[in-house]
Homo-oligomer: A and B are copies of this chain.
Amino acid sequence: MAAHTHPRQNLTELTARLRQHAQRITGPRQLILEVLRREEHPLTARQIHEQLDCDLATVYRSLRLLEEMAMVKRFDFGDGTARFELLGQNDDGHHHHLVCRECSTVVEIGECFSGNLEQRIANQHGFASVSHRLEFFGLCPDCQAA
């Protein structure tokens, strides 16, 4: 998964991609990638901000940029707060999560239903470039005990 990327790789890739967008390699942008690289689960903008020393608005702006450059992926756990995960260079980030309804523990899920279903749905309704958002919710072992 994405979190295993070597730090230098991030920076190299960041530089390359930023060049393509004619944008600059700044401290905050590098730092956000560092923070995300350290975490194996998606983080909220606020959580990222807590580990940095720049403005929260900058975090939001950078995340948006990194998302457009496909270096981070946004996830939505339905609690009104976006979460972000690092993407590797050849990683399309297609995976899902299993989230505990009580304590918010997150487990990454690699599996997914067959692309078949998506294709069928697209065809059936004449839609193009169909993608999906899928997350699982439940009670983790600890919270079942409690």
**Which residues of A are in contact with B by a Cβ distance under 8 Å?**
76, 78, 80, 98, 100-101, 107, 109, 111-114, 117-118, 120-122, 125-141, 144
Report the separation of the CA atoms of residues A109 and B58 in the bound assembly, to the nearest whole angstrom.
39
Report the separation of the CA atoms of residues A21 and B130 in the bound assembly, to the nearest whole angstrom.
41
- List 21 contacting pairs A-B, 8 Å CB cutoff, sorted by A: A76-B78, A80-B80, A98-B121, A107-B125, A113-B113, A113-B114, A122-B136, A122-B138, A125-B140, A126-B140, A127-B136, A127-B139, A127-B140, A127-B141, A128-B138, A128-B144, A129-B139, A130-B136, A131-B138, A133-B135, A133-B137
Would you call A125 and B113 a contact (CB within 8 A)? no
| Copies per complex of this chain | 2
Would you call A121 and B133 a contact (CB within 8 A)? no
Report the separation of the CA atoms of residues A113 and B129 in the bound assembly, to the nearest whole angstrom.
19
Select from chain B the residue with minimum beta-carbon distance to A81. Answer: B80
Report the separation of the CA atoms of residues A68 and B129 in the bound assembly, to the nearest whole angstrom.
35
